Structure 1
Amino acid sequence: MVAANELKAGMTFETDGKLLRVLEASHHKPGKGNTIMRMKLRDVRSGSTFDTSYRPEEKFDQAIIETHNAQYLYKMDDTAYFMDNETYDQYEIPVANVENELKFILENAEVKIQFFGSEVIGVQVPTTVVLEVAETQPSIKGATVTGSGKPAIMETGLVVNVPDFIEVGQKLEINTETSAYLKRA
Protein backbone atom coordinates (compact mmCIF):
# COMPACT_ATOMS: atom_id res chain seq x y z
CA MET A 1 0.00 0.00 0.00
CA VAL A 2 1.17 3.49 -0.80
CA ALA A 3 -0.26 6.77 0.52
CA ALA A 4 -1.37 9.47 -1.92
CA ASN A 5 1.30 11.88 -0.64
CA GLU A 6 4.00 9.31 -1.57
CA LEU A 7 2.90 9.03 -5.21
CA LYS A 8 5.29 10.61 -7.70
CA ALA A 9 5.35 11.02 -11.48
CA GLY A 10 5.92 7.67 -13.20
CA MET A 11 4.45 5.52 -10.42
CA THR A 12 1.58 3.14 -11.20
CA PHE A 13 -1.18 2.15 -8.79
CA GLU A 14 -4.54 0.37 -8.72
CA THR A 15 -7.85 1.82 -7.59
CA ASP A 16 -11.46 0.87 -8.35
CA GLY A 17 -10.28 -1.83 -10.78
CA LYS A 18 -8.30 0.70 -12.83
CA LEU A 19 -4.57 0.74 -13.41
CA LEU A 20 -3.43 4.38 -13.20
CA ARG A 21 -0.04 6.01 -13.91
CA VAL A 22 0.86 9.32 -12.26
CA LEU A 23 1.87 11.95 -14.84
CA GLU A 24 2.07 14.89 -12.41
CA ALA A 25 1.57 15.16 -8.65
CA SER A 26 1.61 18.20 -6.37
CA HIS A 27 0.59 19.17 -2.85
CA HIS A 28 -2.04 21.90 -2.65
CA LYS A 29 -2.87 23.78 0.54
CA PRO A 30 -6.01 25.87 0.13
CA GLY A 31 -6.55 28.92 2.33
CA LYS A 32 -8.92 26.96 4.54
CA GLY A 33 -9.09 23.26 5.08
CA ASN A 34 -6.71 20.37 4.73
CA THR A 35 -3.95 19.71 2.21
CA ILE A 36 -4.93 17.80 -0.92
CA MET A 37 -2.88 16.02 -3.56
CA ARG A 38 -3.63 17.24 -7.09
CA MET A 39 -2.74 14.67 -9.74
CA LYS A 40 -2.79 14.24 -13.45
CA LEU A 41 -3.32 10.54 -14.12
CA ARG A 42 -3.42 8.26 -17.17
CA ASP A 43 -5.56 5.13 -17.29
CA VAL A 44 -2.97 2.64 -18.54
CA ARG A 45 -5.50 0.36 -20.25
CA SER A 46 -7.62 2.97 -22.05
CA GLY A 47 -4.96 5.68 -22.52
CA SER A 48 -7.27 8.45 -21.25
CA THR A 49 -5.87 11.19 -19.02
CA PHE A 50 -7.68 13.10 -16.31
CA ASP A 51 -7.08 15.39 -13.34
CA THR A 52 -8.18 14.45 -9.84
CA SER A 53 -7.37 15.11 -6.21
CA TYR A 54 -6.92 12.86 -3.18
CA ARG A 55 -6.49 13.35 0.54
CA PRO A 56 -2.79 12.76 1.43
CA GLU A 57 -3.62 9.86 3.78
CA GLU A 58 -5.62 7.86 1.20
CA LYS A 59 -3.95 4.52 0.46
CA PHE A 60 -3.66 2.66 -2.86
CA ASP A 61 -2.24 -0.66 -4.01
CA GLN A 62 1.02 0.02 -5.82
CA ALA A 63 1.18 -1.94 -9.08
CA ILE A 64 4.14 -4.25 -9.62
CA ILE A 65 5.44 -3.49 -13.11
CA GLU A 66 8.01 -5.78 -14.73
CA THR A 67 10.07 -4.80 -17.76
CA HIS A 68 11.64 -6.89 -20.53
CA ASN A 69 14.13 -5.71 -23.13
CA ALA A 70 12.53 -5.56 -26.55
CA GLN A 71 12.94 -4.16 -30.03
CA TYR A 72 10.44 -1.90 -31.76
CA LEU A 73 9.64 -3.55 -35.09
CA TYR A 74 7.04 -1.41 -36.87
CA LYS A 75 3.65 0.30 -36.74
CA MET A 76 0.79 -0.81 -38.96
CA ASP A 77 -2.67 0.79 -38.88
CA ASP A 78 -3.45 1.29 -35.17
CA THR A 79 -1.06 -1.34 -33.75
CA ALA A 80 2.65 -1.16 -32.82
CA TYR A 81 4.68 -4.38 -32.91
CA PHE A 82 7.54 -5.23 -30.55
CA MET A 83 9.76 -8.31 -30.14
CA ASP A 84 11.24 -9.64 -26.90
CA ASN A 85 15.05 -9.81 -27.28
CA GLU A 86 15.41 -13.05 -25.31
CA THR A 87 12.37 -15.18 -26.20
CA TYR A 88 11.61 -13.63 -29.62
CA ASP A 89 7.94 -13.36 -28.62
CA GLN A 90 6.10 -10.61 -30.45
CA TYR A 91 3.78 -8.18 -28.69
CA GLU A 92 1.06 -6.04 -30.21
CA ILE A 93 0.25 -2.79 -28.42
CA PRO A 94 -2.49 -0.38 -29.55
CA VAL A 95 -0.89 2.83 -30.85
CA ALA A 96 -3.24 4.88 -28.63
CA ASN A 97 -1.53 3.40 -25.54
CA VAL A 98 2.03 4.21 -26.68
CA GLU A 99 1.44 7.23 -28.94
CA ASN A 100 3.72 9.54 -26.94
CA GLU A 101 6.55 6.97 -26.71
CA LEU A 102 6.47 6.26 -30.48
CA LYS A 103 7.52 9.89 -31.10
CA PHE A 104 10.93 9.02 -29.64
CA ILE A 105 11.73 5.64 -31.19
CA LEU A 106 12.72 4.50 -34.64
CA GLU A 107 12.21 1.04 -36.09
CA ASN A 108 14.65 -1.53 -34.63
CA ALA A 109 15.28 0.67 -31.54
CA GLU A 110 15.82 -0.95 -28.14
CA VAL A 111 13.06 -0.28 -25.59
CA LYS A 112 11.62 -1.90 -22.47
CA ILE A 113 8.16 -3.46 -22.60
CA GLN A 114 6.19 -3.01 -19.35
CA PHE A 115 4.07 -5.86 -17.98
CA PHE A 116 1.45 -5.93 -15.25
CA GLY A 117 1.23 -9.65 -14.54
CA SER A 118 0.96 -11.13 -18.03
CA GLU A 119 -0.70 -8.01 -19.50
CA VAL A 120 1.41 -5.75 -21.74
CA ILE A 121 0.70 -2.21 -20.57
CA GLY A 122 3.26 0.04 -22.18
CA VAL A 123 6.72 0.92 -23.39
CA GLN A 124 9.58 2.56 -21.50
CA VAL A 125 11.93 4.59 -23.70
CA PRO A 126 15.48 5.70 -22.76
CA THR A 127 15.87 9.07 -21.02
CA THR A 128 17.58 10.54 -24.11
CA VAL A 129 17.42 9.61 -27.78
CA VAL A 130 19.26 10.75 -30.89
CA LEU A 131 17.00 11.80 -33.77
CA GLU A 132 17.65 13.46 -37.12
CA VAL A 133 16.05 16.77 -38.11
CA ALA A 134 13.69 16.12 -41.02
CA GLU A 135 12.32 19.63 -41.49
CA THR A 136 13.02 23.12 -40.13
CA GLN A 137 13.46 26.69 -41.30
CA PRO A 138 16.84 27.55 -42.85
CA SER A 139 19.53 28.53 -40.36
CA ILE A 140 20.20 32.21 -39.84
CA LYS A 141 23.74 33.46 -40.38
CA GLY A 142 25.20 34.68 -37.11
CA ALA A 143 22.56 32.96 -34.97
CA THR A 144 23.62 32.15 -31.44
CA VAL A 145 22.57 29.61 -28.85
CA THR A 146 20.77 32.30 -26.83
CA GLY A 147 18.21 33.06 -29.57
CA SER A 148 14.53 32.30 -29.13
CA GLY A 149 14.77 29.21 -31.32
CA LYS A 150 12.59 27.68 -34.00
CA PRO A 151 10.49 24.53 -34.35
CA ALA A 152 12.06 21.46 -35.95
CA ILE A 153 10.26 18.30 -37.05
CA MET A 154 12.28 15.20 -36.23
CA GLU A 155 12.31 12.00 -38.34
CA THR A 156 9.66 10.43 -36.07
CA GLY A 157 7.28 13.40 -36.40
CA LEU A 158 8.16 14.89 -33.00
CA VAL A 159 8.25 18.71 -32.98
CA VAL A 160 11.06 20.20 -30.88
CA ASN A 161 12.09 23.81 -30.31
CA VAL A 162 15.75 24.10 -31.35
CA PRO A 163 18.34 26.92 -31.60
CA ASP A 164 18.39 28.97 -34.83
CA PHE A 165 21.67 27.42 -36.10
CA ILE A 166 20.24 23.87 -36.39
CA GLU A 167 19.83 22.61 -39.97
CA VAL A 168 18.01 19.75 -41.71
CA GLY A 169 19.93 16.47 -41.51
CA GLN A 170 21.67 17.18 -38.22
CA LYS A 171 21.33 14.60 -35.43
CA LEU A 172 20.16 15.96 -32.08
CA GLU A 173 19.97 14.53 -28.59
CA ILE A 174 16.43 14.87 -27.21
CA ASN A 175 15.21 14.43 -23.62
CA THR A 176 12.23 12.02 -23.74
CA GLU A 177 10.71 13.25 -20.47
CA THR A 178 10.45 16.91 -21.50
CA SER A 179 10.69 16.65 -25.33
CA ALA A 180 13.47 19.24 -25.14
CA TYR A 181 16.57 19.68 -27.31
CA LEU A 182 19.73 18.93 -25.31
CA LYS A 183 22.63 19.14 -27.78
CA ARG A 184 23.87 18.10 -31.20
CA ALA A 185 24.89 14.46 -31.35
Structure 2
Amino acid sequence: MVEAINLKKGMIFEQNGKLIKVLETNHHKPGKGNTVMQMKLNDVRSGAIIQTTMRPTEKVDLAIVDKKSAQYLYDEGQTKVFMDMDTYEQYELSQEQLKEEEQFLMPNMEVQLDFCNDELIGIDLPGTVAMKVVDTQPTIKGATAASGGKPATMETGLVVTVPDFINVGDTLVINTDNGSYKARA
Protein backbone atom coordinates (compact mmCIF):
# COMPACT_ATOMS: atom_id res chain seq x y z
CA MET A 1 0.00 0.00 0.00
CA VAL A 2 1.27 3.43 -0.99
CA GLU A 3 -0.16 6.81 -0.05
CA ALA A 4 -1.27 9.05 -2.93
CA ILE A 5 1.28 11.71 -1.98
CA ASN A 6 4.09 9.22 -2.75
CA LEU A 7 2.83 8.31 -6.26
CA LYS A 8 5.18 9.36 -9.06
CA LYS A 9 4.95 9.47 -12.86
CA GLY A 10 5.17 5.96 -14.33
CA MET A 11 3.97 4.07 -11.23
CA ILE A 12 1.19 1.53 -11.80
CA PHE A 13 -1.44 0.65 -9.21
CA GLU A 14 -4.58 -1.46 -9.03
CA GLN A 15 -7.96 0.13 -8.28
CA ASN A 16 -11.40 -1.47 -8.68
CA GLY A 17 -9.90 -4.27 -10.78
CA LYS A 18 -8.25 -1.85 -13.19
CA LEU A 19 -4.54 -1.21 -13.77
CA ILE A 20 -3.89 2.54 -13.56
CA LYS A 21 -0.66 4.27 -14.66
CA VAL A 22 0.26 7.67 -13.20
CA LEU A 23 0.94 10.22 -15.96
CA GLU A 24 1.13 13.41 -13.85
CA THR A 25 0.80 14.38 -10.20
CA ASN A 26 0.39 17.80 -8.62
CA HIS A 27 0.27 18.54 -4.90
CA HIS A 28 -2.40 21.26 -4.59
CA LYS A 29 -3.11 23.36 -1.49
CA PRO A 30 -6.16 25.54 -2.03
CA GLY A 31 -6.62 28.73 0.00
CA LYS A 32 -9.30 27.05 2.09
CA GLY A 33 -9.80 23.39 2.69
CA ASN A 34 -7.56 20.36 2.67
CA THR A 35 -4.57 19.58 0.49
CA VAL A 36 -5.35 17.33 -2.48
CA MET A 37 -3.34 15.46 -5.10
CA GLN A 38 -4.46 16.39 -8.63
CA MET A 39 -3.64 13.46 -10.91
CA LYS A 40 -3.72 12.57 -14.58
CA LEU A 41 -4.07 8.79 -14.82
CA ASN A 42 -4.24 6.27 -17.64
CA ASP A 43 -6.34 3.10 -17.54
CA VAL A 44 -3.74 0.70 -18.98
CA ARG A 45 -6.18 -1.74 -20.57
CA SER A 46 -8.68 0.68 -22.12
CA GLY A 47 -6.31 3.58 -22.76
CA ALA A 48 -8.73 6.05 -21.14
CA ILE A 49 -7.20 9.17 -19.60
CA ILE A 50 -8.65 10.11 -16.22
CA GLN A 51 -8.31 13.43 -14.38
CA THR A 52 -8.94 12.96 -10.68
CA THR A 53 -8.11 14.18 -7.19
CA MET A 54 -7.12 12.11 -4.17
CA ARG A 55 -6.45 12.90 -0.57
CA PRO A 56 -2.67 12.74 0.12
CA THR A 57 -3.25 10.02 2.74
CA GLU A 58 -5.46 7.86 0.50
CA LYS A 59 -3.80 4.48 -0.06
CA VAL A 60 -3.56 2.41 -3.25
CA ASP A 61 -2.12 -1.03 -4.04
CA LEU A 62 0.94 -0.87 -6.29
CA ALA A 63 0.89 -3.46 -9.07
CA ILE A 64 3.79 -5.88 -9.34
CA VAL A 65 5.40 -5.06 -12.69
CA ASP A 66 8.03 -7.27 -14.32
CA LYS A 67 10.30 -5.72 -16.93
CA LYS A 68 11.99 -7.21 -20.00
CA SER A 69 14.51 -5.56 -22.32
CA ALA A 70 13.15 -5.23 -25.83
CA GLN A 71 13.76 -3.48 -29.12
CA TYR A 72 11.17 -1.53 -31.10
CA LEU A 73 11.06 -3.07 -34.58
CA TYR A 74 8.31 -1.60 -36.77
CA ASP A 75 4.67 -0.55 -37.19
CA GLU A 76 2.10 -2.98 -38.49
CA GLY A 77 -1.03 -0.91 -39.15
CA GLN A 78 -2.26 0.40 -35.79
CA THR A 79 0.16 -1.88 -33.90
CA LYS A 80 3.78 -1.48 -32.77
CA VAL A 81 5.98 -4.60 -32.78
CA PHE A 82 8.72 -5.18 -30.17
CA MET A 83 11.26 -8.00 -29.84
CA ASP A 84 12.50 -9.45 -26.54
CA MET A 85 16.30 -8.98 -26.52
CA ASP A 86 16.92 -12.35 -24.82
CA THR A 87 14.40 -14.76 -26.36
CA TYR A 88 13.72 -12.95 -29.70
CA GLU A 89 10.00 -13.38 -29.01
CA GLN A 90 7.86 -10.65 -30.57
CA TYR A 91 5.20 -8.62 -28.75
CA GLU A 92 2.60 -6.20 -30.06
CA LEU A 93 1.06 -3.11 -28.49
CA SER A 94 -1.67 -0.95 -30.02
CA GLN A 95 -1.24 2.76 -30.68
CA GLU A 96 -4.00 3.30 -28.10
CA GLN A 97 -1.81 1.66 -25.42
CA LEU A 98 1.19 3.79 -26.42
CA LYS A 99 -0.47 7.23 -26.69
CA GLU A 100 2.09 8.94 -24.45
CA GLU A 101 5.20 7.05 -25.67
CA GLU A 102 4.49 6.85 -29.42
CA GLN A 103 5.95 10.26 -30.29
CA PHE A 104 9.36 9.22 -28.91
CA LEU A 105 9.64 5.77 -30.54
CA MET A 106 12.49 5.45 -33.02
CA PRO A 107 13.32 2.33 -35.10
CA ASN A 108 15.64 -0.11 -33.26
CA MET A 109 15.23 1.79 -29.97
CA GLU A 110 15.76 -0.27 -26.82
CA VAL A 111 12.88 -0.06 -24.32
CA GLN A 112 11.60 -1.96 -21.28
CA LEU A 113 8.39 -3.98 -21.70
CA ASP A 114 6.12 -3.87 -18.63
CA PHE A 115 4.28 -7.07 -17.66
CA CYS A 116 1.70 -7.47 -14.89
CA ASN A 117 0.61 -11.07 -14.21
CA ASP A 118 2.09 -12.13 -17.60
CA GLU A 119 0.00 -9.48 -19.41
CA LEU A 120 1.91 -6.91 -21.50
CA ILE A 121 0.68 -3.53 -20.28
CA GLY A 122 3.11 -1.00 -21.74
CA ILE A 123 6.68 0.17 -22.16
CA ASP A 124 9.24 2.35 -20.38
CA LEU A 125 11.32 4.62 -22.60
CA PRO A 126 14.95 5.57 -22.00
CA GLY A 127 15.39 8.98 -20.32
CA THR A 128 16.44 10.69 -23.55
CA VAL A 129 16.27 10.01 -27.28
CA ALA A 130 18.17 11.52 -30.23
CA MET A 131 16.01 12.77 -33.12
CA LYS A 132 16.52 14.79 -36.29
CA VAL A 133 14.76 18.11 -36.90
CA VAL A 134 12.63 17.88 -40.08
CA ASP A 135 10.99 21.32 -39.94
CA THR A 136 11.67 24.61 -38.19
CA GLN A 137 11.94 28.31 -38.95
CA PRO A 138 15.21 29.51 -40.50
CA THR A 139 18.06 30.45 -38.16
CA ILE A 140 18.04 34.03 -36.99
CA LYS A 141 21.47 35.64 -37.34
CA GLY A 142 22.97 36.47 -33.95
CA ALA A 143 20.47 34.30 -32.04
CA THR A 144 21.58 32.94 -28.69
CA ALA A 145 20.43 30.06 -26.51
CA ALA A 146 18.99 32.58 -24.02
CA SER A 147 16.19 33.78 -26.32
CA GLY A 148 12.63 32.41 -26.17
CA GLY A 149 13.06 29.70 -28.77
CA LYS A 150 11.05 28.45 -31.72
CA PRO A 151 9.00 25.32 -32.49
CA ALA A 152 10.75 22.45 -34.29
CA THR A 153 9.09 19.34 -35.69
CA MET A 154 11.08 16.16 -35.09
CA GLU A 155 11.13 13.07 -37.37
CA THR A 156 8.37 11.35 -35.34
CA GLY A 157 6.05 14.38 -35.54
CA LEU A 158 6.85 15.57 -32.01
CA VAL A 159 6.95 19.39 -31.77
CA VAL A 160 9.60 20.75 -29.38
CA THR A 161 10.58 24.30 -28.43
CA VAL A 162 14.26 24.72 -29.36
CA PRO A 163 16.78 27.59 -29.29
CA ASP A 164 16.80 29.92 -32.32
CA PHE A 165 20.13 28.61 -33.65
CA ILE A 166 18.77 25.07 -34.37
CA ASN A 167 18.43 24.18 -38.08
CA VAL A 168 16.62 21.54 -40.15
CA GLY A 169 18.76 18.37 -40.17
CA ASP A 170 20.27 18.92 -36.70
CA THR A 171 20.12 15.93 -34.35
CA LEU A 172 18.81 16.84 -30.89
CA VAL A 173 18.62 15.08 -27.54
CA ILE A 174 15.01 15.13 -26.30
CA ASN A 175 13.87 14.38 -22.73
CA THR A 176 11.21 11.62 -22.87
CA ASP A 177 9.65 12.58 -19.51
CA ASN A 178 8.34 15.95 -20.68
CA GLY A 179 9.25 16.22 -24.38
CA SER A 180 11.70 19.08 -23.88
CA TYR A 181 14.93 19.92 -25.72
CA LYS A 182 18.10 19.04 -23.78
CA ALA A 183 21.02 19.51 -26.18
CA ARG A 184 22.39 18.99 -29.66
CA ALA A 185 23.64 15.45 -30.25
What whole-Å deviation, never above 9, does each CA across 1:146-172 have from its counterpart, x for those lacking one? 122111111111111111111111111
Deviation at 1:58, TM superposition (A): 2.4
Question: In the alignment, does 2:95 pair up with 1:99?
Answer: no
Which residue matches 1:81?
A: 81
Deviation at 1:33, TM superposition (A): 4.0
What whole-Å deviation, never above 9, does each CA across 1:18-46 have from its counterpart, x for those lacking one? 11111222333444443332221111111
- Unaligned segments of structure 2, at least 5 residues: none
Which residue matches 2:164?
A: 164
- Unaligned segments of structure 1, at least 5 residues: none
Written as runs of structure 1 = structure 2, the 5 A alignment for 1:13-92 is 13-92=13-92
Name the CA distance, whole Å, in 2 between partners of 1:98 and 1:54.
25
Deviation at 1:89, TM superposition (A): 0.7
Amino acid aligned to 1:66: D
What whole-Å deviation, never above 9, does each CA across 1:98-155 have from its counterpart, x for those lacking one? 1321211211111111111211111111111111111111111211111221111111
* Cα 1:140/1:33, change in 2 over 3 Å: closer
Report the secondary structure of 1:100's partner residue: coil
* Cα 1:85/1:150, change in 2 over 3 Å: same
Normalised TM-score (structure 2): 0.93
Question: In the alignment, does 2:138 pair up with 1:138?
Answer: yes
Which residue matches 1:11?
A: 11
Deviation at 1:59, TM superposition (A): 2.0
Name the CA distance, whole Å, in 2 between partners of 1:56 and 1:147.
39
Report the secondary structure of 1:156's partner residue: coil
Paired residue total: 185
Name the CA distance, whole Å, in 1 between partners of 2:166 and 2:56.
46
Amino acid aligned to 2:106: L
Name the CA distance, whole Å, in 1 between partners of 2:23 and 2:121.
15
* Cα 1:75/1:34, change in 2 over 3 Å: same
Report the secondary structure of 1:172's partner residue: strand
Report the secondary structure of 1:103's partner residue: helix
Normalised TM-score (structure 1): 0.93
